[in-house]
A and B are shown apart, each in its own frame.
Chain A
Amino acid sequence: MILDLSKIFGKSKSSKDVAKERLQLVLIHDRANVSPQFLEMVKGEIIKVISNYMEIDESALDIQLTRTKNEEGDRVVPALIANIPIRNVKNSGK
């Protein structure tokens, strides 16, 4: 178990740091959603790179921006989640 020492000693994060963190997180989503081309562009690039190594089902490729817990589990961080169905892995000439 990880003890949050700052909580025990009553030294909690200042409210402005909370504000900054929350803003940074929400803006990643705002910025991506405001421009509808954003995810399409990312998707296009991912397809290009992955296709060098494997054959993928482009029509079923799903990519989204979401939130997830970080490794320590103490913060929510933005995450880009891509679900890329693979049809076949290319034999890359070993």
Chain B
Amino acid sequence: MGEVLVVTSGKGGVGKTTTTANIGTGLALAGKKVVLIDTDIGLRNLDVVMGLENRIVYDLVDVVEGSCRVKQALIKDKRYEGLFLLPAAQTRDKTAVKPEQMLKLCEELKDEFDLVLIDCPAGIEQGFKNAIAGANRAIVVTTPEVSAVRDADRIIGLLEANDLRNPKLLINRVRVDMVKRGDMMTIDDIIDILAIDLIGVVPDDEKIVVSTNKGEPAVTDSKSIAGQAYRNITKRILGEDVPILDLEADEGFLVKIKKMFGMKTT
């Protein structure tokens, strides 16, 4: 029996879709059978981030309305064994799906897949309620900014109120240079404030944009630092104990990662 993991944030644009695509691909590379569900109805994006936009026939709304069978709507990613996408509908809105329908769908997919990954839309309205309805684990994505952290706190409260205990924190778009000059909150500052466990830290990395341009998640790029961060997060999701890279150590993040890869540190 599989698990249902929702990727959520409250604030928009902090990296939920990027995270879902990378973790999903990472899990498939680790040999898991994974399905990604885009619940951002009306603003679908996971399809383009995954590079699967040309293969959509049916979508999430078709499935819950019974216009097609679940199997028909799942797009199989031919590049990675065991990876599937259920795209959002683009011409409908969030009210086209109800939480009970999502719950039922998740229950069904759990029998078939090791992991069901849900990309949540921004906000705390219906789309959020749909996304968390069938979930039993949650990752809260934030960036090291006041507004994103504040919204993350709100989401953590809502998750707990909905019996999704122990959500894990993913801090995205960390910039070591800014942290060093005291212009960006540190990982410890953010954990201090939100008081939940950390699942990982992803640096701000141009490679994310490049990989999105191409529709190939950065987790598959051995040269991308963000890709490495997502590979570590994938391992942690699978229960492996991978140390979190220490941003505050003297030598800094980039140097450490370069050392890890055996690259020259200039």
Q: Does A31 belong to the interface (CB within 8 Å)?
A: yes
In the bound assembly, the distance between CA atoms of A14 and B189 in angstroms comes to 13
State which of A14, A17, A24 has its C-beta within 8 Å of the C-beta of B193.
A24
User: Which residues of A in the span 1-59 have a Cβ within 8 Å of any Cβ on B?
Assistant: 14-17, 19-20, 22-24, 26-27, 30-31, 34-35
CB distance from B159 to the nearest CB of A (A): 12
Asked if B70 is at the interface of the complex by the 8 Å CB criterion, the answer is no
B182 within 8 A of A: yes
> A19–B146 contact, CB under 8 A?
yes
**Are B183 and A23 in contact, with the CB atoms below 8 A?**
no
Task: Determine the chain A residues whose CB is within 8 A of the CB of B182 once the complex forms.
Answer: 14-17
A16-B189 in contact (CB<8A): yes
Q: How far is the CB of B194 from chain A (nearest CB, A)?
A: 9
CA distance A1 to B154 in the complex (A): 40
By the criterion CB–CB under 8 Å, are B150 and A23 in contact?
Answer: yes
Q: Are B186 and A23 in contact (CB under 8 A)?
A: no
Q: Is the CB of A22 within 8 A of B157?
A: no
Chain B min CB distance to A79 (Å): 20
The answer, among A15, A17, A27, A35, for a CB contact under 8 Å with B150, is: A27
Interchain CB contact under 8 A, A22 and B146: yes
Chain A nearest Cβ from B96, distance in angstroms: 28
Which residue of B149, B157, B179, B184 is within 8 Å of A23 (Cβ)?
B149
Q: B177-206 vs A: 1/0 string, CB under 8 Å?
A: 001011111100100110000000000000
Which residues of chain A are near B145, meaning CB under 8 Å?
A: 19
**Within 8 Å of chain A (Cβ to Cβ): is B53?**
no
Asked, given contacts A16-B182, A16-B184, whether A23 binds B154 with beta carbons under 8 Å apart, the answer is: no
Produce 1/0 per residue, B156-191, CB < 8 A to A: 010000000000000000000001011111100100
Q: Is the CB of A14 within 8 A of B154?
A: no
B153 at the interface (CB under 8 A from A): yes
- Enumerate the 4 nearest inter-chain pairs by beta-carbon distance, A residue then B residue, closest first: A14-B182, A16-B185, A15-B183, A20-B189
Interface residues of B (CB under 8 A from A): 145-146, 149-150, 153-154, 157, 179, 181-186, 189, 192-193
A residues neighboring B (CB under 8 Å) = 14-17, 19-20, 22-24, 26-27, 30-31, 34-35
